[in-house]
Amino acid sequence: MAIKVIYAMDQLDEIDLKLLKLLTNDSSRTIKELAEEVNLSSSPVVARVKRLENNGYIKKYIALLNPEKFNQGFIVFCNIKLKQHDREIGHSFVADILKIDEVVECYNISGDYDFFLKVFARDMKHYQDFVFNKLGSVKSIGSAHSTFVMSEIKNSHNFCF
């Protein structure tokens, strides 16, 4: 007996979910490869993938680069507190952070901090330069707290569904 999973107004069946998992693990798979994995011909797989894209289940396809190959394997998580909470300071922070290449992810969070950044750097010296010269130029920052990654245990873009 097949179990149907319902998300919002759309229904995803087991084949849709399998296609999503396959594409999450390797979005470069061909339609032919996907079709073989889900035991369908190419035409229905193309239609299903298009529907998943059009309904927003697939936002985009990207290549995940290896930061170490670009000498950017030093990963730091940085918690940011703003100087104060108002619209102008918040918008100013976001505009400034969007311009900084070392910041690869930025989240507005609740709790003791206002924002959570993921930063790639070459090494500690590069990160120190980043803190002094790039983060230091963001006038809306009240304080920053850095946590250095010693090793990556899991990095998956899959989530449970």
Residue 141 has pLDDT above 50, yes or no: yes
Cα distance between residue 30 and residue 82, in whole Å: 46
C-beta of residue 119 within 8 angstroms of C-beta of residue 102? yes
Same domain membership, residue 78 and residue 46: no
In a domain, 91, yes or no: yes
Q: How far apart are the first and last CA of the chain?
A: 18
Element at 35 (helix H, strand E): helix 31-38
Structural domain containing residue 40: 5-54
Asked whether residue 71 falls in the same domain as residue 97, the answer is: yes
| Predicted confidence (pLDDT) at residue 118 exceeds the cutoff of 80 | yes
Q: Is the pLDDT of residue 54 over 80?
A: yes
Instruction: Say if residue 122 is in the same domain as residue 50.
Output: no
Within this chain, do residues 43 and 77 fall inside the same structural domain, yes or no?
Answer: no
Residues 77 and 135 in one domain: yes
Q: Assess whether 81 and 141 both reside in one domain.
A: yes
The CATH number of whichever domain residue 106 belongs to comes to 3.30.70.920
Q: How many domains are contained in the chain? A: 2
Could you tell me the two tokens for 140? 């809306």
Q: Assign 77 to helix, strand or coil.
A: strand
Mean pLDDT across the chain: 91
Residue 25 lies in a domain: yes
Q: Is the same domain home to 87 and 119? A: yes
Looking at the structure, do residues 91 and 18 belong to the same domain, yes or no?
no
User: Confidence band (pLDDT; 50, 70, 90) for 161?
Assistant: low
Q: How many residues does the chain have?
A: 161
Residue 156 — very low, low, confident or very high, per pLDDT cuts 50/70/90?
confident
More confident residue, 1 or 23: 23
Asked if residue 156 is part of any domain, the answer here is no
Q: Looking at the structure, tell me whether residues 18 and 90 fall in a common domain.
A: no
Distance CA 94, CA 128 (A): 21
**Whole-Å CA distances, 126 to 90, 121, 123, 135:** 26, 6, 5, 12
Looking only at the bridges linking them, the beta strands covering 103-108 and 74-82 are unpaired
Look at residue 7 in the predicted model and tell me its pLDDT.
47
